[in-house]
């Protein structure tokens, strides 16, 4: 019984060793002093670094502030359709980052809809575009983090403050701000890392403003210069590693704050009207690029012939979009299944057995993937698996996705499994129930909703990712999202719009299925 668990642990260890530790080690080994010197001393380096830092800082500030404001409005006012608004705010997560860039091009580019019809030119290409696109791309992530905090804030503390005669401002300062402390740091780092390492948005709207990830992408994809790519990769790794360490120290140790009472929202019509206006304005802004994709897909020849047609769809199908869609669906399904299984099993090992050194190691490695930017992981896979048989297959794409998106679902499972009674293993041991049986008969049935959510996370991210897979895919196994940069460079704008819509549809359908599944599971659970 115990042996089985040990061997299970060993298998997970070996898997993570070859899919995380080895590639990273090889990446680091590929760095030569001469390359570092060459890159740092080159004329492009400092401007690139400063562009990256400036764009990332601005986007982070805007995203996080917006996220705080909107999650606060949703949870502290009596506006209608809160659930719908929350869903709409997170729609941008369902399309690739590069699509956000494309959306902006379609709206504000030289021939963009806004530029053409409203005569408004915002000089999209450059810093403006990068920041705008990055905000679109990262806002939903920050929003979800704060939404959870505000939603589960305990009202009894506010009541106590009220009784003590603290003013609203004092309450905000002494209660709300304190509660926001940890998530604020976490979200700032999460958004910063996300934007800092993304090449999708700056690739299409950066213009002459080169950022580090775009440079890395061009060096590796265009010039096949892996060692230069590795140097940039390590630079991209720095903020992520800092974020990882800060986040570890920042983690709530107890994390057992239960809501004694939900926040009581007092009626205030003026506040509700302002909140509704702000929320729906943001929804409108978020949906503009998506509307632009739809419009462009069905217009005959923008901007010359605005009659509607299905021509672009046929054109896209001729370019093989359907085949790449099937690729993507396969990759996403396999990533969903394999990723969920591995991360769940790992969480089972770390959350449901006695603490020891190897468990701690396993936990650390699992969290580590949070700190590795996709492009860096992708490049390290190229270097490590280049001569192995899995190179150029679907398997390597699925593996890299599983690792790239490992940490969040792992934590979901870990937290769910931690909620089981601490004595349950002791009881099962005395009753003669093996750990395997416990996993199958007790833990999995008790965490089905979490498992559905984990699958959804892996699937959606595998559909939208263009980072880790970009260096590993070839024309045969390429996922759909990677067609966007390719078609963009061939000026097939309508096809990229169509692809973005396709990905959005697939992910929305999947999300809806998961939503129905979870509702069904909950219903079943409440029946007795």
- Positions touching another protein (CB under 8 A) are 420-424, 426-433, 437, 441-442, 445-446, 525, 528
80 Cβ partners below 8 Å, 6+ apart?
276
Q: Considering beta carbons, is residue 385 or 443 the nearer one to another protein?
A: 443
Closer residue to another protein (CB): 400 or 438: 438
Rounded-to-integer distance, Cα 524 and Cα 521, Å: 5
Distance CA 87, CA 372 (A): 28
Enclosing H/E stretch for 308: strand 305-308
DSSP 351-411: HSS---HHHHHHHHHHHHGGGS-HHHHHHHHHHHHTTSTTTTSHHHHHHHHHHHT-HHHHH
Report, in Å, the least distance between residue 365 CB and another protein: 28
Closest contact distance (angstroms) between CB of 410 and another protein is 21
Nearer to another protein, 208 or 354 (CB): 354
> Nearest distance from residue 435's CB to another protein, in Å?
12
Closer by beta carbon to another protein, 222 or else 432: 432
Work out how close the CB of 417 gets to another protein at its nearest, in angstroms, rounded to a whole number. 12
Closest separation in Å from C-beta 436 to another protein: 11
Both tokens assigned to 516: 């129905």
The CA distance from 291 to 485, in Å, is 20
Considering only CA atoms, which of 251, 69, 248 is closest in space to residue 147?
Answer: 69
Cis, peptide link before residue 303, omega less than 30° from 0: yes
Least CB distance to another protein at residue 433 (A):
6
Q: Which residue number, 47 or 445, has a Cβ lying nearer to another protein?
A: 445
Per the CB < 8 A criterion, the answer to whether 397 and 470 are in contact is: no
What CA–CA distances, in Å, run from 107 to 285, 296, 314, 464?
11, 10, 24, 21
CB within 8 Å of 128: residues ≥ 6 apart: 122
Rounded to whole angstroms, how far apart are CA atoms 460 and 479?
Answer: 13
Cα-based torsion angle of the residue sequence 403, 404, 409, 410 in order, rounded to the nearest 10 degrees: 40
Residue among 269 and 528 whose Cβ is closer to another protein: 528
Name the burial class of residue 80, with classes exposed (0-12), middle (13-18) and buried (19+) by CB atoms within 10 angstroms of its CB: exposed
Rounded distance between C-alpha atoms, residue 46 and residue 476, angstroms: 38
- Please provide the DSSP assignment of 81-110 as one string: -HHHHHHHHTGGGGS-HHHHHHHHHHHHST
- Measured in whole angstroms, the distance separating CA 70 from the mean position of its chain's CA atoms is 19
CB of 336 to another protein, least distance (A): 23
Q: Please report how close the Cβ of residue 115 comes to another protein at its closest, in angstroms.
A: 57
User: Among residues 246 and 442, whose Cβ is nearest to another protein?
Assistant: 442
Q: Smaller CB distance to another protein: residue 315 or 449?
A: 449
Min. distance of Cβ 113 from another protein in angstroms?
A: 52
Minimum separation from the CB atom of position 444 to another protein (A): 9
Q: Token pair of 203, please?
A: 């690739």
Nearer to another protein, 322 or 426 (CB): 426
Q: Which is nearer to another protein, 6 or 437 (CB)?
A: 437
Structure tokens at 446: 């008790």
C-beta closer to another protein: residue 111 or 524: 524
Minimum distance from residue 347 beta carbon to another protein (Å): 17
Nearest distance from C-beta of residue 296 to another protein, angstroms: 49
C-beta of 314 vs 436, nearer to another protein: 436
- Closest distance to another protein from the beta carbon of 448 (Å): 8
Residue among 376 and 454 whose Cβ is closer to another protein: 454
Tokens found for residue 462: 């595998």
User: Which residues, listed in sequence order, are joined to residue 299 by a DSSP beta bridge?
Assistant: 308
CA–CA distances in Å: residue 128 to residues 87, 209, 372: 27, 10, 27
Q: Residue 434 or 508: which CB sits closer to another protein?
A: 434
For residue 263, count other CB atoms closer than 10 A to its CB.
14
Residues 436/441/444/445 CA torsion (nearest 10 deg): 180
Cα 116 from chain centroid? 33
Collapsed DSSP state (helix, strand, coil) of residue 508:
helix
Shortest distance, position 344 Cβ to another protein, whole Å: 15
334 burial via Cβ count (<10 Å: 0-12, 13-18, 19+) = buried
């Amino acid at each position: 019984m115990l042996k089985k668990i040990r061997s299970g642990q060993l298998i997970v260890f070996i898997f993570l060793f070859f899919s995380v530790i080895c590639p990273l080690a090889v990446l680091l080994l590929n760095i030569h002093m001469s390359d570092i010197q060459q890159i740092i001393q080159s004329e492009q380096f400092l401007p690139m670094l400063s562009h990256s830092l400036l764009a990332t800082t601005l986007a982070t500030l805007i995203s996080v502030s917006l996220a705080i404001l909107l999650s606060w409005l949703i949870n502290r006012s009596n506006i209608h359709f809160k659930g719908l608004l929350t869903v709409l705010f997170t729609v941008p997560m369902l399309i690739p980052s590069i699509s956000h860039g494309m959306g902006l091009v379609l709206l504000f580019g030289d021939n963009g809809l806004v530029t053409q019809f409203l005569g408004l030119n915002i000089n999209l290409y450059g810093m403006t575009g990068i920041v705008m696109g990055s905000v679109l791309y990262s806002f939903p992530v920050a929003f979800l983090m704060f939404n959870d905090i505000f939603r589960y804030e305990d009202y009894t503390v506010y009541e106590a403050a009220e009784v003590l005669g603290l003013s609203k401002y004092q309450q905000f300062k002494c209660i709300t701000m304190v509660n926001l402390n940890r998530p604020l740091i976490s979200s700032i780092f999460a958004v910063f890392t996300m934007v800092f390492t993304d090449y999708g948005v700056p690739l299409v709207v950066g213009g002459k403003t080169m950022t580090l990830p775009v440079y890395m992408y061009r060096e590796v994809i265009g010039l096949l210069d892996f060692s230069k790519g590795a140097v940039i990769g390590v630079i991209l790794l720095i903020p992520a590693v800092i974020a990882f360490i800060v986040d570890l120290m920042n983690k709530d140790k107890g994390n057992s704050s239960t809501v004694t009472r939900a926040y009581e929202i007092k009626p205030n019509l003026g506040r509700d009207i302002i909140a509704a206006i702000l929320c729906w304005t943001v929804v409108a802004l978020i949906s503009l690029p998506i509307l632009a994709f739809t419009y462009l897909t069905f217009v005959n020849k923008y901007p010359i012939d605005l009659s509607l047609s299905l021509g672009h769809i046929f054109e896209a199908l001729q370019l093989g979009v359907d085949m790449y869609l099937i690729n993507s669906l396969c990759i996403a399904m396999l990533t969903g299944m394999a990723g969920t299984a591995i991360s769940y099993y790992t969480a089972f090992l770390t959350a449901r057995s006695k603490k020891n050194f190897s468990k701690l190691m396993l936990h650390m490695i699992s969290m580590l993937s949070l700190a590795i930017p996709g492009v860096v992981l992708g490049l390290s896979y190229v270097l490590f698996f280049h001569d192995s048989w899995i190179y150029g297959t679907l398997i390597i794409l699925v593996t890299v996705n599983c690792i790239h998106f490992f940490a969040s679902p792992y934590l979901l499972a870990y937290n769910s499994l931690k909620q089981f009674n601490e004595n349950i293993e002791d009881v099962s041991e005395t009753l003669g129930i093996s750990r395997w049986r416990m996993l199958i008969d007790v833990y999995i049935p008790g965490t089905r909703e979490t498992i559905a959510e984990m699958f959804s996370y892996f699937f959606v991210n595998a559909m939208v990712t263009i980072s880790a897979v970009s260096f590993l895919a070839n024309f045969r196994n390429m996922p759909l999202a990677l067609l966007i940069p390719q078609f963009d460079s061939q000026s097939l704008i309508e096809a990229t719009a169509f692809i973005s819509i396709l990905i959005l549809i697939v992910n929305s359908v999947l999300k809806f299925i998961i939503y129905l599944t979870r509702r069904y599971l909950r219903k079943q659970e409440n029946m007795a």
